[in-house]
Amino acid sequence: MAWFILLLAGLLEIAWAFFMKQSEGFTQPVPTAITIVLMMASFILLSISMKTLPLSSAYAVWTGVGSAGAFLVGVAVLGEAATPMRMLAAVFIIAGIAMMKLSSSS
């Protein structure tokens, strides 16, 4: 269950990163409010997952899901560049997340 909660926290991290971009430096009230709510929810879920998961695994997976997911949203939704080097970097992040999960005892 902790891994599911952690995954959900990572998905919320992707969402708040997207809305932070939409907030245009916190100058747009609605995206700013959504960003803050999603950040809080993401942090709360991360902290819940860390009750049973090791810090090193939980934090690395949380940031990795957020990083890779934000990259994918940037490319798919915002039209950001999907160069071969950036794609390879995303693959490495995802591979790292998988290795953290496989190597964790929890």
What residue type is 40 in one-letter code?
A: M
What pLDDT, on the 0 to 100 scale, is given for residue 105? 64
What pLDDT, on the 0 to 100 scale, is given for residue 85? 95
- In the chain, % of residues over pLDDT 90: 83
Residue 58, token pair as written in the block: 């939980």
Torsion angle of alpha carbons 6, 10, 13, 18, nearest 10°? Answer: -160
CB atoms inside a 10 Å sphere around CB 58: 26
What pTM, to 2 d.p., does this model score?
A: 0.87
Burial class (CB in 10 A: 0-12, 13-18, 19+), 55: exposed
What pLDDT, on the 0 to 100 scale, is given for residue 11? 97
What pLDDT, on the 0 to 100 scale, is given for residue 100? 82
pLDDT value at 101 more than 90: no
What pLDDT, on the 0 to 100 scale, is given for residue 102? 84
Strand ranges (DSSP E) for the chain? Answer: none
- Residue pLDDT, tens place only, 24-50: 999 999 999 999 999 999 999 999 999
What residue type is 2 in one-letter code?
A: A
